[in-house]
Amino acid sequence: MTSPASLDDVIVVSTDQVSADLSGETIILGMREGAYFGVSSAGSRIWSLLQQPRRLGDVVSILTSEYEVDARQCATDVLAFVDDLLSRGLVSRDGPSAG
């Protein structure tokens, strides 16, 4: 089982997926599960930010500057979303904290 994501984790998008932006919604095909996932709104923005390896704390900072959202709530939501992506093999941790 994967440990929960933290704001210090650097996250990278897996090579075992293909994604496309369709009018503000992101469609992701997870090759490992062979399943499609639809992500809209803030989830699409998070996905776009993760196209480059990025620390989750930085993702939260960017989102709180772009959206009217409390930083604590944003962090909770980002971590939950990334935990889901991690469990599906759509992203992974990069660097020393990987594992």
Domains of the chain from N-terminus onward: 11-88 (1.10.10)
Question: What pLDDT, on a 0 to 100 scale, did the predictor assign at position 7?
Answer: 97
- Alpha-carbon distance of 24 to 63, in angstroms, equals 16
Question: What pLDDT, on a 0 to 100 scale, did the predictor assign at position 41?
Answer: 82
**2-11, 28-37, 39-48, range with the lowest pLDDT:** 28-37
Is residue 12 within 8 A of residue 94, CB to CB? The reply is yes
Instruction: Summarize pLDDT for 39-82 with one digit per residue, the tens.
Output: 888 899 999 999 999 999 999 999 999 999 999 999 999 999 99
Angle at 73 between CA 48 and CA 5, to 5 degrees: 60
Mean pLDDT of the chain: 90
Given a cut of 90, is residue 24 above it in pLDDT? no
Residue 49's contacts (CB-CB under 8 Å, 6 or more residues apart) are 59, 62, 63
